[in-house]
């Protein structure tokens, strides 16, 4: 069982991650690169002649070079993230006693996106480099609370028959938005508003595709390995 879990999580995550990485390369990555141009220009404009006064400052942290190195680094990060999603999805479906097959797993992936992507973006939209942001710890706390509350609320609404529990689930989904997400004192961004809007929309689409692809891949790989194991046992 443990071997099957590991195999399904790794294989499904890698398959979905590589597909999503290819999509990112033609959707969100060009927008991030464009935003970095604006961010760098703004930093240089504010820095003025200060650079000459800091010639012996510490070297900046390593970053992948533009081109193949950056594409490879992004693809690896996306694949690792997708593997993590696959293990989370497997754990949740097994704990809930859900049958693991492609359609059901894809629906669980859609619910996971609703919790970790759609609900959280209502208060904290995906941001480009150079955007102003509120307190990091407060943002992280709100994001985690919103994702957890939405996930629990969806489970109560969709899987529990008692009306009171459904009502409590709906209240859980609404609660984080009534509290409100931490916001910066003044919304600022070095990138144009149109670019930021395109990035937010593309990021949400990629996030949704990632979870649904991971779910479908988990279902297909689990079914394939289960069928193979049953055939070997019967032989």
The pLDDT profile of the chain, 235 residues, written as one tens digit per residue, is: 789 999 999 999 999 999 999 999 999 999 988 888 877 776 666 555 554 444 444 455 667 777 788 889 999 999 999 999 999 999 999 999 999 999 999 999 999 999 999 999 999 999 887 776 778 899 999 999 999 999 999 999 999 999 999 999 999 999 999 999 998 877 677 778 899 899 999 999 999 999 999 999 999 999 999 888 777 777 6
Residue entry with tokens 């996306």? 78
Q: How many helices (H) and strands (E) does the chain have?
A: 8, 0
Cα 43 to Cα 206: distance, rounded to the nearest angstrom: 29
Phi then psi for residue 189, to 5 deg, are -160, 140
- What does pTM read for this prediction? 0.87
The reported pLDDT for the residue numbered 83 is: 98
- Which positions ≥6 away from 47 have C-beta within 8 Å? none
Tokens of 51: 């650079």
Return the number of other C-beta atoms located less than 10 Å from residue 56's C-beta.
Answer: 5
Which sequence spans correspond to the domains of the chain?
2-21+67-234
Task: Please measure the distance between the N-terminal and C-terminal CA atoms of the chain and give it in whole angstroms.
Answer: 19
CA-to-CA distance for 152 and 204, rounded, in angstroms?
21
């Amino acid at each position: 069982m443990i071997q099957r879990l590991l195999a399904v999580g790794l294989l499904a995550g890698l398959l979905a991650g590589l597909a999503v990485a290819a999509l990112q390369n033609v959707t969100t990555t060009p927008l991030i690169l464009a935003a970095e141009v604006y961010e760098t220009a703004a930093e240089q404009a504010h820095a003025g002649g200060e650079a000459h006064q800091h010639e012996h400052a510490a070297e900046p942290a390593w970053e992948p070079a533009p081109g193949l190195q950056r594409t490879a680094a992004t693809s690896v990060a996306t694949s690792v993230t997708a593997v993590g999603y696959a293990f989370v999805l497997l754990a949740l479906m097994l704990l809930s006693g859900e049958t693991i097959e492609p359609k059901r797993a894809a629906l669980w992936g859609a619910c996971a996106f609703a919790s970790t992507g759609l609900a959280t973006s209502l208060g904290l939209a995906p941001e480009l480099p150079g955007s102003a942001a509120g307190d990091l710890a407060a943002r992280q706390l709100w994001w985690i609370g919103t994702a957890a509350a939405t996930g629990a609320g969806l489970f109560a609404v969709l899987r529990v028959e008692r009306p009171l529990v459904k009502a409590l689930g709906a209240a859980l989904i609404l609660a984080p938005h009534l509290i409100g997400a931490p916001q910066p004192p003044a919304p600022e961004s070095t990138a144009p508003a149109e670019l930021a809007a395109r990035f937010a929309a593309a990021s949400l689409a990629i996030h949704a595709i990632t979870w649904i692809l991971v779910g479908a891949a988990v279902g297909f790989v689990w079914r394939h390995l289960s069928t193979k194991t049953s055939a070997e046992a019967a032989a």
